[in-house]
A and B are shown apart, each in its own frame.
Chain A
Amino acid sequence: MQPVVDGLKQQYSSQIRFVDLDFDDKKNAGLVQQLRVPGHPTFVLLDGQGKVVQRWVGVTPRDAIEENLKRVAAVK
Chain B
Amino acid sequence: MSFLRKKVSYSARTRKMTAFWPLLVLGLALLVGACGDATATVNPATTSAATTPPTATAPIAPTTASSQAVGSSTTVAIAATQFVATNTIGTPPAATNTVTAVPATAIPVTTTPALKAIVQPKVIRTASDSYRKTIQFTEQPVTLNDGIPSLLWFDAEN
Chain A residues packing against B (C-beta within 8 Å): 1-3, 5, 8, 15-25, 27-28, 31-32, 34-35, 37, 40-50, 53, 65, 69, 72-73, 75-76
Contact = CB atoms under 8 A, between A and B. Distances in A.
B120 interface: yes
Given A22-B156, A28-B118, A65 B151 contact: yes
6 contacts: A16-B148, A17-B144, A20-B137, A21-B119, A47-B149, A72-B149
Interface in B103-129: 112, 115-120, 122, 124-127
B149 A21 contact: no
B150 interface: yes
A46 B118 contact: no
B156 A23 contact: yes
A32 B45 CA distance: 112
A19 B151 contact: yes
B153 interface: yes
B120 A22 contact: yes
A54 B91 CA distance: 60
**Can you list the 6 inter-chain pairs with the closest CB atoms, starting with the nearest?**
A50-B145, A50-B115, A48-B147, A44-B152, A23-B154, A72-B149
A60 to B, nearest CB: 10
A19 B152 contact: yes
Nearest to B148: A17
A40 B146 contact: no
Contacts of A53: 149
